[in-house]
Amino acid sequence: MSRSVFDSLCVPVVEPSARRALAAMERAKKHARWIELRLDYLHSPREIDKLLSCLKGLHHPRHSLIFTLRRRNAGGRFRGTIAAQLLWLGRAASLGQWLDLEIETIRMQGAYIVPYLQRIGARIIVSSHDFKKTPIHLDHLAKQLLKTGGDLIKIAAQANSPLDAARLLSIQRELARKGHRSVVLGMGACGAPTRILGPSDGAEFTYAALNRGKESASGQLTASELEKIFRIDRINSRTRIYGLLGCPLSHSLSPTLYNAAFRRLHLNAIYLAFETMDLDDFPLWTQQLKVKGLSVTLPHKAEVVRFLSGQDQAARRVGVVNTLRWRQGRWFGYNTDAHGIEKPLDELGLDLKDKEVLLLGAGGAAQGVAAVLRQKKAKVLISNRTFAAAQRLARRFGHRAVRAEKLRNSHFALIVNATSVGMWPRVNKVPIDLTEVSADVVFDLVYNPPETRLLRQARRRKMATISGMKMFVSQAEAQFKILTGRRLPTAIWKEIAETNSS
């Protein structure tokens, strides 16, 4: 049976003073059973002394406190010696709670230190951190940690690929199967799946920041994200795993959208972000994590095709995919971007036959636009920062490549921006100067922000506009149907807009 979110979370308190730490602890208590007090974040020994004194004699019947005073050589902030560390930890141990003790200290001080602190009254988390990589021999590391006689072991390692996350989750399951209390997690963006799936794979808890800016490690999600977006209490061995493949992914709306839709439709499914630049291990990690379907974004839309056993007509026409579905032991690719481009154009009633259209960009999304515009028999000029890419794309779809400087004083029926210029965080950039080139309609594929600077300038010049959000909505509806066989609830967009503005 799944545990409640409250029982699965550990909120770290990372404050510089005892007063602020106590206030944060009270707030954290509403969200999590486990509260980690990072003594090494307090800015002086006086503050450590103050905090421990304040906590003396207090009872926390619903909570477990963890005291951590990690030294700098183990990735913490405590500048003192091992002797000073052990003195403070001895004092914290007398409060009868948990201590997080890094393996480096045990190695330097000797194995006796664990039973010594246990005799004083603490339970011990023996922890290991690797801030650069996920160690190759995780099983060996786990054995070393178990040998210390701690009450719980923790392995935190930088995950540099989704395969690292899959390996960490596999060792987590193994430890839980053998009955060892443990927490195994991946740091960094690639580690996100371990933080979300960890508790259902047997982790004692998963770390969660109280709010943004209060993370104690990179890639840590907030308590609210784990509770409201990922609903970690609902995840079990039958949960179907979907996700987004690309890099970078931090700007993406898809995890919020899909997870909200799964909730509304009561589907036992979860949607994760798989951030990676490298596809070589794709078959391995998707199989290990039992991924059932993926949305694909830049830069993988073309390269991922090499892993597919088949593609739908739209994908073959465009030459790139944005949707992958795992069916009968094989991957199949689809392209819903083309539908997403076509629908808003049709809704506007634009007849583009023999009309002049300017396409900016020659990447994955531009391929979809080029294919749709060919079907609509438009006369298309393609302009791109890398001219050779514009030429290649133009040749493929029977359009013409043009250099940006030749565009001055031209007017088009439609300008489509399929570059990433203007996308968050560089929202002040525009891909073209609308004082030099004009159009009846400007369509910006960028959807974050929903209204780009280019669209604002176009509106000011009385040109009609289509936002990338329109395309996102249309393509997401088609993609959701392919991946889940269900219709995306229309009310979901209102909910997403509200979530994002709150």
By CB under 6 A, how many residues form the interface with ligand NAP?
A: 27
Query: Which residue in 236, 313, 375, 386 binds ligand NAP (CB under 6 A)?
Result: 386
Query: Which residue in 74, 421, 442, 478 binds ligand NAP (CB under 6 A)?
Result: 421
Residue 257 contacts ligand NAP per CB under 6 A: no
Query: Which residue in 162, 193, 364, 449 binds ligand NAP (CB under 6 A)?
Result: 364
Determine the 3-state secondary structure of 401 from DSSP.
Answer: strand
CB 256 to ligand NAP: min, Å: 15
Q: Kindly list the catalytic residues.
A: 301
d(CA 209, CA 199): 16
Fill in the per-residue mask, 263 to 302: x = in contact with ligand NAP (CB under 6 A), - = not in contact.
-----------------------------------xx-x-
Determine the 3-state secondary structure of 303 from DSSP.
Answer: helix
Residue 168, H or E segment: helix 162-177
Residue 381 contacts ligand NAP per CB under 6 A: no
Tell me if the bond preceding 299 is cis, omega within 30° of 0: yes
376: left (phi over 0), alpha (psi -120 to 50) or beta: alpha
Which CB atom, from 241 or from 446, has the smaller least distance to ligand NAP?
A: 446
d(CA 335, CA 329): 20
Query: Which residue in 272, 446, 454, 478 binds ligand NAP (CB under 6 A)?
Result: 446
Residue 445 contacts ligand NAP per CB under 6 A: yes
CB 279 to ligand NAP: min, Å: 14
Contact region with ligand NAP (CB under 6 A), list: 122-130, 141-149, 309-317, 416-424 = 416-424
DSSP annotation string for 117-139: HHHHT-EEEEEEEESS---S-HH
CB 479 to ligand NAP: min, Å: 10
Query: Which residue in 365, 380, 401, 458 binds ligand NAP (CB under 6 A)?
Result: 365
Which CB atom, from 217 or from 362, has the smaller least distance to ligand NAP?
A: 362
d(CA 101, CA 89): 9
65: which strand partners?
35
Measured at the CA of 405, the angle between CA 399 and CA 411, to 5 degrees, comes to: 65
Nearest Cα neighbor of 322 from 333, 309, 330, 314 is 333
291: which strand partners?
241
Nearest Cα neighbor of 154 from 132, 177, 175 is 175
Positions that interact with ligand NAP (CB under 6 A): 298-299, 301, 337, 340, 361-366, 384-386, 389, 418-421, 423, 445-447, 468, 471-472, 475
